[in-house]
Amino acid sequence: MKTDYLVVGQGICGTFLSWYLEQGKQDFLVIDNALPSTPSKVASGVINPITGRILATTWLAETLLPFTWNAYEQLGITIGADIIKEYEIISFPSTQQMKEAHEKRIGEYNSYIQPALNNYPSFNYLYNSYSISPVWLVDLHPILNNWRNFLQSANKLTETFFDVNELKIEPDCIQYKDITAKKIIFCNGTEAFSYSFWKNLPYADNKGEALIADVPELSRDHIYKIGSLVMVPWYNNQWWIGSSYEREFESAAPTDAFRKYAENQVAGCLRVPFKITGHLAGIRPANMERRPFVGLHPHYPSVGILNGMGTKGCSLAPYFANQFVKYLVKAEPIDPLADVGRFSKVLKRET
Ligand SMILES: Cc1cc2nc3c(=O)[nH]c(=O)nc-3n(C[C@H](O)[C@H](O)[C@H](O)COP(=O)(O)OP(=O)(O)OC[C@H]3O[C@@H](n4cnc5c(N)ncnc54)[C@H](O)[C@@H]3O)c2cc1C
């Protein structure tokens, strides 16, 4: 079988890359093994313009936010689902330091933070409450499932494990079992970093856990930030509560330590009844520079990557998938801060 692009992985990166290839009328095939606990499946889907302890504006926020909204709207039309919604985060800082970080941002140019206007009797909070907006919430499950159905019905998806030992790389094509492709593009998250030709990238796998809870009396009109945890409306009228950011971990499985920590936090903060109904964990394909890996391998031009999205896959994946496809089809440049070619030196070594 011959194709132009073989895409490995159908998380949020592989979904947007293959969708843009489809939009550009390109010939492609996707291989995905449908792992159950990928970061794209356990993520809450929040696109937040500010980030971290100091609530800094996220990289490229002013470009990314409008682009991302539009990309999800367009993808939603293709897959017949309403997949993006605007929200406001109501943030309750849990320490004096966090409160000061919020106060400092109010009134800054293009600030995304304001004092919240209402009271929130469902919560105990020591300090003031703040409103963060605009924030987008994307519905990852219908995105992944509906796009997968589209690929399946178009005979563009092979649901199987991609075995890198079966890959033969030539300068102008690749051979994988009975498939010959002009290019292969790795969108398979953390697994790609175990391959000899990508393993020298400065990746930094990062585990995240979240609880799922039933909180029937809590208004679903907002996302809430309680200290370092975020409560996000989830499927089946449940709430997603997370997450952790762990660089060191023993396995990908949910831990008792996180469950106890998060349950205590929620119990201390919520004034309405709640019941924990689930516990999720996933490993984010993060990187030390906090900039993604996008483009063709500097020493193997038939091999590409769209990866390393870290905590921001929902906003970075559409933007950089679009850039990558424009690069492939029209030779338009990739942002040098994201172009994987910046690691040419370390990628020359495979040991
Ligand atoms: C708890 C948690 C919460 C998060 N919350 C948010 C959030 O609110 N907002 C946000 O923007 N980001 C969030 N993230 C980060 C986000 O989830 C990731 O950046 C993003 O999902 C990464 O997507 P990906 O497509 O690169 O990888 P993945 O989601 O890992 O997808 C890779 C795909 O490749 C497949 N695959 C892997 N290896 C193979 C193989 N050998 N053969 C075939 N298929 C293979 C897998 O089955 C999977 O479908 C969160 C992450 C976690 C863990």
For ligand 1, say whether the CB of 284 is within 6 Å of any of its atoms.
yes
**What pLDDT is stored for residue 195 in this prediction?**
98
Q: 349 pLDDT band (50/70/90 cuts)?
A: confident
In short, whether 140's Cβ falls inside 6 Å of ligand 1 is: no
pLDDT for residue 350: 72
- Residue 108: the pLDDT is 82
Fold of 87-135+204-284: D-Amino Acid Oxidase; Chain A, domain 2 (3.30.9)
Q: What was the pLDDT predicted at 351?
A: 61
Q: What is the pLDDT of residues 132-165, one digit of tens each?
A: 999 999 999 999 999 999 999 999 999 999 999 9
Q: Which atom of ligand 1 is nearest to the CA of 307?
A: 26
* DSSP β-ladder status, 157-159 and 130-138: unpaired
With a 6 A CB cut-off, is 208 part of the ligand 1 pocket? yes
Tell me, in angstroms, the distance from the centre of ligand 1 to residue 121's CA: 35
- As a whole number, mean pLDDT of residues 2-31 equals 98
Q: Where in the chain is the domain with CATH 3.50.50.60?
A: 2-42+142-202+288-348
Radius of gyration of the chain (CA): 21
Q: How many whole angstroms separate alpha carbon 245 and alpha carbon 284? A: 9
Residues of the chain within CATH 3.30.9.10 domain(s) are 87-135+204-284
Domain 2-42+142-202+288-348 coded CATH 3.40.47.10: no
pLDDT > 70? residue 334:
yes
Q: Whose CA is nearest to atom 35 of ligand 1?
A: 9
> For residue range 46-59, what is the model confidence (pLDDT) as tens digits?
999 998 888 989 99
Model confidence at 251, pLDDT cuts 50, 70, 90, reads: very high
Q: Ligand 1 center to residue 197 CA distance, Å?
A: 20
pLDDT digits (tens, 9 = 90+) for 262-316: 999 999 999 999 999 999 999 999 999 999 999 999 999 999 999 999 999 999 9
Q: What is the dihedral of CA 8, 12, 16, 17, to 10 degrees?
A: -20
> How many CA atoms lie within 13 Å of 259's alpha carbon, on the beta-carbon side?
13
pLDDT by residue (tens digit) across 112-136?
A: 999 999 999 999 998 999 999 999 9
Q: How many CB atoms lie within 10 A of CB 3?
A: 17
Q: Which whole number is the average pLDDT over 185-201?
A: 98
Residue 24, phi then psi, degrees to nearest 5: -85, 10
Q: Model's pTM, two decimal places?
A: 0.98
How high does pLDDT run on average in the chain? 96
Q: Is the CB of 12 under 6 A from ligand 1?
A: yes
Percent of the chain with pLDDT over 70: 99
Query: Does pLDDT of 109 surpass 80?
Result: no
Distance in Å, CA 103 to ligand 1 centroid = 33
DSSP-derived letter for residue 287 is: B
Q: Where are the beta strands (DSSP E) in the chain?
A: 2-8, 28-32, 46-47, 50-51, 56-57, 84-92, 113-115, 130-138, 157-159, 167-169, 174-176, 179-186, 206-214, 223-226, 229-233, 239-242, 275-284, 293-296, 303-307
Locate the ligand 1 atom nearest the alpha carbon of residue 14 and give its number: 25
158 ligand 1 Cβ < 6 A = no
pLDDT digits (tens, 9 = 90+) for 198-244: 999 999 999 999 999 999 999 999 999 998 999 999 999 999 999 99
